[in-house]
Structure 1
């Protein structure tokens, strides 16, 4: 007879009922081969006596095992391990200190780890921060959004509201977004040109998966957004970089590349280049569109912070001047409202939108219908446009105050150019500054900032990082710069 009393360990302090614990452990003994197919189990009275349990607990555990298919009952004979299981070689029971929890155990199959996907996840840190350029969620129109959410439950047919929706996104948001983009960005779109996604990163992923194949050549700036390059590399496409200067991506170097080899796509952030914030000059914009038409490559335009430009009107996107359908325009409301609201969009000719929607269906059947409806309502009522104007004034003042602080407090140790827009200042520290150590010292003082190492092109140390100002009040910016000044002094 098996030593059931030592094989089965029950804990009455757990929230899991005892009969479930017992049934689970009998199943484990079967899977391990300790209990073999067709083996007769002890009677309920006998096992109850051995385990010091009520007989009804044993009956319930056996019933559970019968329901799960581990056990079978033979009339007049008793309860047995199901005979249909294959023979399993009994395994030695591990010692307590050898037991590996499922959470940390390596799988029994190979998982390829891709180095280019190893990128820290940015989160909103508590305390002071000079982040990557996040919005201030405290400014988000929460009351208006709450009202719009509530109206969703009062409007229309509940069957329609809480069933499946359009893979391309909620019609109201696509209608309102199309109007907004046509009005503010000079686009010429209809709802059929718009796909709603969960943030711009999802839009980039879908575009790359549909348009790129292994071996395709994709051009980016030497400094660019890692979220885009990771999606490009995951398709098997090859990355080529060209320099970025104070006027944006070098289109002459791009022309040279195109003469030598076919280029499938060019990824750009022309409004405020990421990470340096420079704006692509007008003549280069014209030339880039001409090159796309001449060589037939796709321009993937990521316009991540269009709504925040502080010098008169924002520069219109490349997509507004696209006459041949060469530009795929990707944007997001994440930077405009708050990162928690995962609403992005792709604008492109309908043929591509239809294909992106088909792919999206097997990844994420549809977006958040309630959120998309609520955001659409905020566009329709004008609340979101009022929020943009308020946030623009606030971020403009914070940019000016922050740049004044950098000039007065850190003039001898950092250099920067005041950005025309956006939410961060591209800041270069003195040569020899250990940026990783600087970020660590700041963190110990309660200030989060990025080391900027992820922005370094291969083989280069830029000693630069993005210092976000939008998410902090002017008082918080003053305290942040004071800490930064202190930790810089500590490293000298």
Structure 2
């Protein structure tokens, strides 16, 4: 058995006096770590307190306190007239380790698991990047427009109010009841729905809603119809649930109803995923005629319509088109939305609308992953909705975003008209642009990055049949748009060199 002399304790124990943890606990915890990792073997005698205090250059009382902690936790035993020894507990194997690798053993975390687990390439395409400079994003709002003073005042008032203490504990799994009541009234007023609080399940945003709907409604092998092109993250959720994706064409009136009808005549469709207000990524609006036809097809063939209304609040050319859910009389539509686009992505507050029986079942499922959501934030949003603060913010924001859309499309037309073709979108915070097929979009993206403009890879669509980009403009001011388009123009020209 190793004697205390052979254990290089200065290599085993590293004391950091800059942290808050007491030195004696640092020593005790690192010794426990050494025992657990087999460096200090069961039965090994620890050095005397004087000897170890000299080696570690600490006061002897610190070593005594560390040994007392080890003894209290059951890691050591004191043998009269012999000393302190590592306890030889049952189940602890006596395995020898090579001492030259002590530091690596004790200070590093395992690079890989010691077991196998299921891996998926579906999620490899998800990248989260942050850019310190300018960025064309996926159509996110400008957080600088938020009424933060009012929001912070409301949220602070909720934290201070004793009547809201109940929200610090567990509550309704469907979400904050006051928020669901207020949200139901808001959605009925703005989207023509006919719902009550029992038709609403609150979530952490669009993605959580899609994931939950996929997990609950799709079985392995089920056929899921999406547009060509479609939202890549939604597609990943469907595939993760075992769904088989079938894509159908999308034209200037939205997704092809005729293609869906032909599929229904030969296959059993489980779910149709739609972004009808502004199709993702091309931004076209589904025509009124096709909306009616799709509802009729869903009822006739029994498939679910998952309606993703991710940016309903931003519409510029007249009144917005009501969602399919507003005309659903047969319970075929599951409607999802959020405040992540209306306010800011950091407000992880979304909602899923469906008949009560599905909401009740989904509430059980949500309890497994998120027991109740953010009750305090939901309370704040409810109060802001009731006070019309969010409605006033959106009214102002729409005017600003429309101005930015118009200016952005003018810049593109003036500086890149030979290279790009597009239609000014009727709503939303992105422009779908089609480019000269001779251009290499990845090269353009790299050229932009050199000039401090971030153009994410997931916004680039280049195949043998089309070359396109989805360019978000809402997060950029007029001067920033000028600079961003100037950099993009320069990057396009350099890509030919």
Question: Which one of the candidate residues 474, 485, 492 is aligned to 1:488?
Answer: 492
Once residues 25 and 155 of structure 1 are traced to their aligned partners in structure 2, the CA distance between those partners, rounded to angstroms, is 44
Question: Which one of the candidate residues 231, 239, 242 is aligned to 2:245?
Answer: 239
Once residues 259 and 207 of structure 2 are traced to their aligned partners in structure 1, the CA distance between those partners, rounded to angstroms, is 27
Secondary structure of the 1:323 match is coil
Q: How does 1:381-392 map to 2 (within 5 A)?
A: 381-392=387-398
Secondary structure of the 1:386 match is helix
Secondary structure of the 2:269 match is coil
Question: Which one of the candidate residues 384, 394, 401 is aligned to 1:378?
Answer: 384
Contact in 2 for aligned 1:293/1:324 (Cα 8 Å): yes
CA offset digits 1:448-470 (Å, max 9, x no partner)? 223456656xx656321111111
**Alpha carbons of 1:485 and 1:23: their partners in 2 closer, same or farther (altered >3 Å)?**
same
Once residues 112 and 415 of structure 1 are traced to their aligned partners in structure 2, the CA distance between those partners, rounded to angstroms, is 43
- C-alpha displacement at 1:441, in angstroms? 0.7
Q: Which residue of 2 aligns with 1:348?
A: 354
Question: Unaligned regions of 5+ residues in structure 2, if any?
Answer: none
Q: Report the more deviating stretch, 371-380 or 57-66.
A: 57-66
Question: Unaligned regions of 5+ residues in structure 1, if any?
Answer: none
Q: Which residue of 2 aligns with 1:146?
A: 152
Contact in 1 for aligned 2:407/2:478 (Cα 8 Å): yes
**Alpha carbons of 1:450 and 1:32: their partners in 2 closer, same or farther (altered >3 Å)?**
closer
Q: Report the more deviating stretch, 309-318 or 55-64.
A: 55-64
Matched, 1:369 2:375: yes
Matched, 1:171 2:177: yes
- C-alpha displacement at 1:209, in angstroms? 1.0
Q: Which residue of 1 aligns with 2:445?
A: 439
**Alpha carbons of 1:127 and 1:261: their partners in 2 closer, same or farther (altered >3 Å)?**
same
- C-alpha displacement at 1:207, in angstroms? 1.0
CA offset digits 1:224-258 (Å, max 9, x no partner)? 11121111111112111111112111121112222
- Aligned-residue Cα RMSD (Å) equals 2.2
- C-alpha displacement at 1:409, in angstroms? 1.1
Q: Which residue of 2 aligns with 1:448?
A: 454
Q: How does 1:93-172 map to 2 (within 5 A)?
A: 93-95=99-101, 102=108, 105-123=111-129, 125-172=131-178
Once residues 380 and 129 of structure 1 are traced to their aligned partners in structure 2, the CA distance between those partners, rounded to angstroms, is 34
Once residues 29 and 156 of structure 1 are traced to their aligned partners in structure 2, the CA distance between those partners, rounded to angstroms, is 48
Question: Which one of the candidate residues 26, 31, 46 is aligned to 2:36?
Answer: 31
Q: Report the more deviating stretch, 234-243 or 382-391.
A: 234-243
CA offset digits 1:395-433 (Å, max 9, x no partner)? 111111111111111100101111110000001111121
CA offset digits 1:26-56 (Å, max 9, x no partner)? 3243234343334443333344355554321
Q: Which residue of 2 aligns with 1:6?
A: 8
Once residues 417 and 199 of structure 2 are traced to their aligned partners in structure 1, the CA distance between those partners, rounded to angstroms, is 47
Q: Report the more deviating stretch, 2-11 or 234-243.
A: 2-11
Aligned length: 490
Once residues 236 and 429 of structure 1 are traced to their aligned partners in structure 2, the CA distance between those partners, rounded to angstroms, is 35
Once residues 78 and 163 of structure 2 are traced to their aligned partners in structure 1, the CA distance between those partners, rounded to angstroms, is 50
Question: Which one of the candidate residues 5, 13, 22 is aligned to 2:27?
Answer: 22
Once residues 199 and 364 of structure 1 are traced to their aligned partners in structure 2, the CA distance between those partners, rounded to angstroms, is 12
Once residues 206 and 142 of structure 1 are traced to their aligned partners in structure 2, the CA distance between those partners, rounded to angstroms, is 31
Contact in 2 for aligned 1:224/1:455 (Cα 8 Å): no
**Alpha carbons of 1:447 and 1:192: their partners in 2 closer, same or farther (altered >3 Å)?**
same
Q: Which residue of 1 aligns with 2:197?
A: 191
Q: Report the more deviating stretch, 127-136 or 334-343.
A: 127-136
Output the TM-score relative to the length of structure 2.
0.93
Q: How does 1:204-215 map to 2 (within 5 A)?
A: 204-215=210-221
Once residues 318 and 412 of structure 1 are traced to their aligned partners in structure 2, the CA distance between those partners, rounded to angstroms, is 38
Secondary structure of the 1:309 match is coil
CA offset digits 1:262-287 (Å, max 9, x no partner)? 11111110000000001111221111
**Alpha carbons of 1:355 and 1:93: their partners in 2 closer, same or farther (altered >3 Å)?**
farther
- C-alpha displacement at 1:88, in angstroms? 3.1
Q: Report the more deviating stretch, 7-16 or 383-392.
A: 7-16
Q: How does 1:399-418 map to 2 (within 5 A)?
A: 399-418=405-424
Secondary structure of the 1:310 match is coil
Q: Which residue of 1 aligns with 2:435?
A: 429
Matched, 1:326 2:332: yes
Once residues 103 and 41 of structure 2 are traced to their aligned partners in structure 1, the CA distance between those partners, rounded to angstroms, is 26
Once residues 163 and 330 of structure 2 are traced to their aligned partners in structure 1, the CA distance between those partners, rounded to angstroms, is 41
**Alpha carbons of 1:97 and 1:462: their partners in 2 closer, same or farther (altered >3 Å)?**
farther
